[in-house]
Homo-oligomer: A and B are copies of this chain.
Amino acid sequence: MDIAERLLAGDVRGLARAIRLVEDRDPAAEAILRQVRGRAGMAHVVGITGPPGSGKSTICDHLIARWRSAGHRVGVIAVDPSSPFSGGAILGDRVRMQRHTGDDGVYIRSMAARGHLGGLAGAAREAVRLIDASGRDRCLLETVGVGQSELEVMQTADTTVVVATPITGDSVQIIKAGIFEIADVFVVNKADVPGASKVARELRDLVRQTKGMTTWQPPVIQTVGTTGEGVDDLLDAVERHHAAITESGELEQRRRRRLRAEIEAIVVERAAERARRELRDGTMGSELSGDLRGVDPYGLADRILNGHTGRQDP
């Protein structure tokens, strides 16, 4: 069996190999993605974001355990450099996560936040699609709530959970991080720490003020990661959100938007490849070896984009 067939048959190593090809921007990845595309679209993709130290990974851990108990198969993409999933953990986090190792029903993959030629968001989106096509019906996407690329990653999620704590950030910081708008569910973790209720109240007020007229009003769930308190409520909110957007047609709309974004990303990636090739090997390269003063980057860019890369007559 080739990689795509193994992936579709649910083989973990087939899935892992395919994701590696995607990460490496290997030309073979495209064929696999085309082959498995028709089988994707069944997974509920849940994004979870928040500052380092907010306890995202602990919450993910609880969600995974509950999903597994309910018979779901789970995939996790961790692009948070501080996440134990992505190997950046200290202290006991790494140990705690090990309870899933050996469970074939949980596939965990970390992705570096840097160094993706085609963009982190593209690699994450394609990895999610592969997980989806491999028959895993729950997919977690964990990121840190900073930076444009992390925000783009979150656009792959059907349901986005934003985690705050009384320690790592109040509502103002969530707004500043640009993650308020993308939240479908808020979690105030470390609810046993003083100030948690205040943060929760602020978030509820903000939701009322800004999303008063929308059909889905993001609930604010208080959790205690260490004990698992509130995680059932969170799971319930996540499932309710999914049901709500499925019924309202919003899920379908999101997927259409996402497909457009995906096509745009592919166009961009290929244009960048073309530019790099031309600037390295093509005639453009030699045009840039002389005096730079007279070089018009806009004109050269247009010629590359339109394929007119031969040296122009003087």
Q: Which one, A155-163, A185-193, A259-267, is touching chain B?
A: A259-267
Q: With A271-B305, A275-B267 known to touch, is A30 a contact of B298 (CB < 8 Å)?
A: yes
Could you list some 13 contacts between A and B, CB below 8 A? Answer: A113-B147, A256-B289, A259-B288, A259-B295, A260-B288, A263-B275, A263-B284, A264-B275, A267-B305, A268-B272, A268-B275, A270-B305, A274-B305
Interface residue A114 (Cβ < 8 Å from any Cβ of B): yes
| Contact pick for A267, options B38, B146, B271, CB 8 Å | B271
Distance of A263 Cα from B38 Cα, bound (Å): 37
Mask: chain A, 291-308; 1 = CB below 8 Å from B; 0 = not:
011011110111011110
Min Cβ gap A133→B in Å is: 13
Instruction: Name the residue in A149, A178, A267, A279 with the highest tally of chain B Cβ atoms < 10 Å from its Cβ.
Output: A267
Question: Residues of A within 8 Å of B, CB-based: how many?
Answer: 54
Which residue of chain B has the shortest Cβ distance to A33 in the bound complex?
A: B298
Q: With A267-B274, A267-B305, A301-B263 known to touch, is A292 a contact of B255 (CB < 8 Å)?
A: yes
Q: How many copies does the complex hold?
A: 2
| Contact pick for A271, options B34, B37, B262, B271, CB 8 Å | B271
Min Cβ gap A123→B in Å is: 12
Q: With A268-B271, A292-B255, A302-B270 known to touch, is A263 a contact of B147 (CB < 8 Å)?
A: no
Min Cβ gap A53→B in Å is: 13
Whether the Cβ atoms of A296 and B148 lie closer than 8 Å is no
Interface residue A228 (Cβ < 8 Å from any Cβ of B): no
Q: With A292-B259, A305-B271 known to touch, is A120 a contact of B146 (CB < 8 Å)?
A: no
Whether the Cβ atoms of B266 and A148 lie closer than 8 Å is no
Which residue of chain B has the shortest Cβ distance to A304 in the bound complex?
A: B267
Which residue of chain B has the shortest Cβ distance to A150 in the bound complex?
A: B147
